[in-house]
């Protein structure tokens, strides 16, 4: 099922959905890539970010790469989804960049989640927001999650909680002796 957003979700929803929330400084434009989106070329810019402070999530790196749609390469110019400038301090709401060949420490903005920070105030779509409010919202989110887990533990029997589950295989088992791969029926309508 596809979820369609008519606009950017509220700050609390974005903070809840982001895998990693941090304060960092844009070090440099590290690379640009060309991608084909709906057969049209699109530029993606990769920025090196020096991590200053992780507010939510886990990260053991001092520097990460953030890939944003936008920039220019060859003869193609693509509008920015989130504009990053070298030397700027920013609040980042991120999700892992799981594209093919992406290394650990590669992220993409969650709902264009890259916001300039000046004097401990982030320039969010909702307006200028003190980082203390962002930290407070994150703390509230952690408390709510802790309450949810406590309720779940009350409802779920202890013996089921510790029960190991069978591993999930990402790839189907190899064909067994004598078996053949399924093929589409000839003449079947698509």
pLDDT digits (tens, 9 = 90+) for 122-173: 999 999 999 999 999 999 999 998 998 888 888 877 677 666 777 776 665 5
d(CA 139, CA 125): 21
- What is the pLDDT at residue 115? 96
Residue written as token pair 């991608």: 35
- What is the pLDDT at residue 179? 64
| 11-145 CATH pick, 1.10.3720.10, 2.40.50.120, 3.40.50.2000, 3.40.50.300 | 2.40.50.120
Say which residues have a Cβ less than 8 Å from residue 122's Cβ, sequence separation at least 6: 91, 115, 116, 128, 129, 130, 131, 134
Residue boundaries of the structural domains of the chain: 11-145
- What is the pLDDT at residue 152? 83
Question: Which is more confidently placed, 164 or 190?
Answer: 164
Residue 15, class by beta-carbon neighbours within 10 Å (0-12 exposed, 13-18 middle, 19+ buried)? buried
Q: Are 19 and 94 in contact (CB under 8 A)?
A: yes
């Amino acid at each position: 099922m596809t979820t369609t957003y008519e606009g950017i979700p509220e700050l609390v929803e974005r903070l809840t959905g982001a895998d990693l929330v941090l304060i960092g400084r844009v070090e440099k434009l590290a690379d640009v890539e060309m991608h084909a989106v709906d057969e049209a070329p699109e530029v993606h810019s990769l920025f090196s970010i020096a991590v200053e402070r992780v507010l939510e999530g886990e990260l053991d790196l001092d520097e990460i790469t953030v890939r944003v749609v936008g920039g220019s390469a060859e003869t193609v110019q693509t509008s920015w989804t989130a504009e990053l400038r070298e030397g700027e301090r920013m609040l980042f709401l991120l999700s892992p960049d799981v594209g093919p060949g992406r290394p650990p420490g590669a992220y993409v903005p969650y709902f264009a989640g890259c916001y300039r920070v000046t004097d401990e105030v982030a320039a969010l779509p909702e307006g200028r927001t003190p980082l203390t409010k962002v930290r407070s919202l994150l703390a509230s989110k952690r408390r709510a999650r802790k309450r949810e887990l406590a309720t779940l533990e009350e409802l779920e029997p202890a013996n089921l909680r510790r029960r190991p589950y069978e591993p999930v295989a990402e790839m189907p088992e190899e064909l067994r002796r004598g078996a053949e791969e399924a093929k589409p029926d000839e003449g079947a309508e698509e």
